A and B are shown apart, each in its own frame.
Chain A
Amino acid sequence: MTKGKPYDDIPGTIIFDSDQAARGYALNQFCISLRLQANRDAYAADPEGYIDKFSMSAEQREAALGQQWNRLLELGGNIYYTSKLAAFHGINFQELAGLMTGKGSVAYREMMISGGRPIEGNRYQSEWEED
């Protein structure tokens, strides 16, 4: 990844830019293939056999099979794609967010109902490092 991007200092955020898109192409195409029922059936029947049709790296493959949601984003996945893999596992968007934040879905839902994650203290990486 090119160094010194203006958004590098936003905490807890992976910007899906062209470097990430290039890195995650096969991974994202795998995820989006699960939009279709026939492919979901094939993946359910033989996960390793199905995933090997996509030329992704060993770590991407492991993160996909292991449902490591943040790792998938770090390795070039985009949330609109990885959410299709989550849906395959019966995880909806809000539950997925609960998992990625480490809060769990109940606490996350509560946070959203009480107004969401505030912007104060969440603009810069440095604000997270102070904790």
Chain B
Amino acid sequence: MARITSGVACSHVPALGVASDSGIDSDAYYAPIFKGFEFSRQWIAEEKPDLIFLVYNDHCTAFDASVIPTFALGCAAEYHPADEGWGPRPVPVVRGHQALSAHIAQSLVLDSFDITIMNEMEVDHGLTVPLTMMFGKPDQWPCPVVPLAVNVVQYPAPLGSRCFALGKAIRKAIESFPDDLKVCVFGTGGMSHQLQHQRAGLINSEWDARFMDLLVNDPNTGSQIEHIEYLREAGSEGIELVMWYVMRGALNETVEEVHRFYHVPASNTAVGHLILENR
């Protein structure tokens, strides 16, 4: 049977993709960030997941304003990196896993999560930057990915508590899939940041640290954080952090934090990263 063994939380700042693609990831500005992922690249090479379930948000790339699904599950055989306005990122095509996606889609709907099914979808930096941070620049991504796109662009994003519950339903779905697969769940986005209007540049490191502590050790409390707190304390785009709760919901109640990294800034954003193992 398929099983979930670990979780990764990771910011998906587009500038990190640009830094990797253009080879400036070891300059004075970016080196401290990529150094924070050296441990992670070794860890995942040893962990060797057979599949990544990756929770991210699309930035008006696959979905423009005409269609805004709250939860959209990728069910395609492959996902091409999208042109976000400056050409597609020069990274490998992301392989999917249609049989597992179909199984999860069916299981979630019967479990009262009425998700949208995406049989064709291009993927933007929200999905490809975390892969870059964890794997570097391979010719092919080492394993298939099942993507889940969450609306965090138009307010309101789904509640943290709902994301947490969805994570639990995803775990149930994955663990009832007959193939022997070792699965790592990624929750991406964040941490505190505001990209717009006069308060742009907001960073709240103290709040970010508390958010990570609660996520790891007391997710039942942390998943109750209200939207207004995210907006006020973590910035208008910091609300992306609800996606980390999908990942957390898919893990055991007790997890071991094997790695934590935090850095300010990457462009406009605080970079946060966790590796959690089921215990």
The 8 sampled A-B contact pairs (Cβ below 8 Å) are A10-B231, A18-B155, A32-B65, A73-B196, A84-B85, A93-B15, A112-B203, A122-B199
Cβ A113 vs Cβ B198 within 8 A: no
Q: How far is the CA of A68 from the CA of B92 in the complex (A)?
A: 37
**CB atoms of B154 and A119 under 8 A apart:** no
Q: Is B198 in contact with A100, judged by CB distance below 8 angstroms?
A: yes
User: Which of A12, A81, A102, A108 has most chain B Cβ within 10 Å?
Assistant: A12
Query: B residues touching A (Cβ–Cβ < 8 Å)?
Result: 14-15, 59-61, 64-66, 83-86, 153-156, 194-207, 228, 231-233, 236-237, 264-265, 267-268, 270
8 Å CB interface, A102-131 against B? 102, 108, 111-113, 115-119, 122-123
* Min CB gap B30→A, angstroms: 12
Task: Tell whether, in the assembled complex, residue A117 and residue B199 are in contact, meaning their CB atoms are under 8 Å apart.
Answer: yes
Cβ of A97 and Cβ of B84 under 8 Å apart? no
Q: Which of the residues A10, A24, A25, A101 comes within 8 Å of B201, measured between beta carbons? A: A101
A-B interface, 8 closest residue pairs, ranked by CB to CB distance from nearest: A116-B203, A12-B198, A12-B199, A79-B196, A112-B265, A97-B200, A117-B201, A17-B155
Given A15-B236, A84-B85, A87-B85, A70 contacting B197 (CB threshold 8 A): yes
Residues in chain B near residue A6, CB distance under 8 A: 228
Is the beta-carbon distance between B196 and A13 smaller than 8 angstroms? yes
Give the interface size class of chain A: 35 or more
Q: Which residues of A contact B (CB under 8 A)?
A: 6-7, 10-18, 21, 24-25, 28-29, 32, 34-36, 70, 73, 78-81, 83-84, 87-88, 93-94, 97, 100-102, 108, 111-113, 115-119, 122-123
